[in-house]
Amino acid sequence: MILALADGVSFRQTNTGLVMLFNRVSGIMYELNETAAEIAKIVADGATRLDELVDRMCVAFDGDSALIGEDTRRFVSDFIKLGIVTAREGED
């Protein structure tokens, strides 16, 4: 699965460190916690395979890699349901 920010969605980080995704189509702004912010940062850098994203999250955060993988997949699923990340078929 290849992930990318949806059309009309922009990534913003303020000078105070607050990280947000703004959906210009719906007008909704999402304030992100640390985990969601790291996922959004990676995806905003360019189309990313899900397995690559999980690997990068395991490097960014200490902990059980299986749990980090589950959390990452849950966040990605939520982002897709919200329409702020798109997924297309591809090698995972």
- Just give the CATH number of 2-88: 3.90.930.60
At 17-42, the pLDDT tens digits run 899 999 999 999 999 999 999 999 99
Residue 9 pLDDT class (50, 70, 90 cuts): very high
At 53-82, the pLDDT tens digits run 999 999 999 999 999 999 999 999 999 999
CB-based burial label for 39 (10 Å; 0-12, 13-18, 19+): buried
**Alpha-carbon distance 16 to 9, whole Å?**
21
